[in-house]
């Protein structure tokens, strides 16, 4: 019965039954693991271990007991070549996966930096507009010297008015009570 459902193209993949259930894979865990391996492949420690491994391999298969040698020097150490090719064939995709993840992180960081720069620019423009508005408002505000001169003028006007009123009072005949 499972073949009938799996062979139908009009059935969604989720509804298809397979012989083996798919294991749930955490893509981020796989990515972290590949990055860890790729980071290790680029260290001096890895190069030293690989060199030690190759030296032991070559020494054993060159000078070890003849009946225990498993990779002949006459064949050009074919097994060692295959092992190193296998290691390289796994290293390249792991490094590419790690680079892809780094590119994704760089893209997210660049987008966040761009958004932060836009916010900073908007904030700066807002503050510049506010400063201009304050300058305009302050140009309309009376200064201390202006207020003092106006108060002096009013005081002089009041003193003149008082003097004029006093003269008018003196020149008026007084009525007797």
- Summarize pLDDT for 43-75 with one digit per residue, the tens: 899 999 999 999 999 999 999 898 999 998 888
Cα–Cα dist 27/25, whole Å: 6
Model confidence band, residue 29 (pLDDT cutoffs 50, 70, 90): confident
Burial of 111 (0-12, 13-18, 19+ CB in 10 A): exposed
Eight-state DSSP code of residue 14: G
Q: Which of 57, 52, 102 is nearest to 80 (CA)?
A: 57
Angle between helices 78-139 and 44-63 (to 10 degrees): 180
- Check pLDDT > 90 for residue 156: yes
- pLDDT (average), residues 86-113: 92
Among the residue ranges 83-92, 103-112, 131-140, 155-164, the one predicted with the least confidence is: 131-140
- Check pLDDT > 60 for residue 15: no
List CB contacts of 70: < 8 A, sequence separation 6 or more: 61, 79
pTM: 0.50
How much of the chain exceeds pLDDT 70, in percent? 84
- What pLDDT, on the 0 to 100 scale, is given for residue 6? 55
Distance of CA 126 to the CA centre of its chain: 24
- What pLDDT, on the 0 to 100 scale, is given for residue 80? 94
Per the prediction, the chain carries an average pLDDT of 85
- What pLDDT, on the 0 to 100 scale, is given for residue 8? 66
- pLDDT (average), residues 24-40: 82
């Amino acid at each position: 019965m499972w073949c009938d459902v799996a062979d139908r193209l009009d059935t969604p993949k989720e509804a298809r039954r397979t012989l083996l259930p798919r294991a749930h894979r955490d893509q981020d865990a796989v990515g972290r693991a590949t990055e860890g391996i790729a980071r290790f492949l680029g260290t001096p420690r890895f190069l030293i271990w690989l060199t030690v491994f190759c030296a032991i391999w070559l020494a054993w298969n060159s000078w070890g007991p003849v009946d225990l040698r498993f990779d002949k020097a006459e064949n050009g150490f074919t097994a060692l070549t295959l092992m190193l090719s296998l290691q390289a064939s796994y290293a390249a995709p792991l490094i590419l996966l790690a680079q892809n993840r780094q590119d994704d992180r760089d893209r997210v960081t660049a987008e966040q930096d761009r958004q932060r720069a836009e916010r900073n620019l908007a904030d700066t423009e807002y503050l510049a507009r506010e400063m201009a508005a304050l300058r305009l408002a302050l140009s309309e505000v009376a200064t201390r010297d202006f207020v003092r001169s106006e108060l002096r003028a009013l005081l002089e006007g009041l003193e003149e008015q008082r003097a004029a009123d006093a003269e008018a009072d003196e020149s008026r005949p007084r009525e007797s009570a």
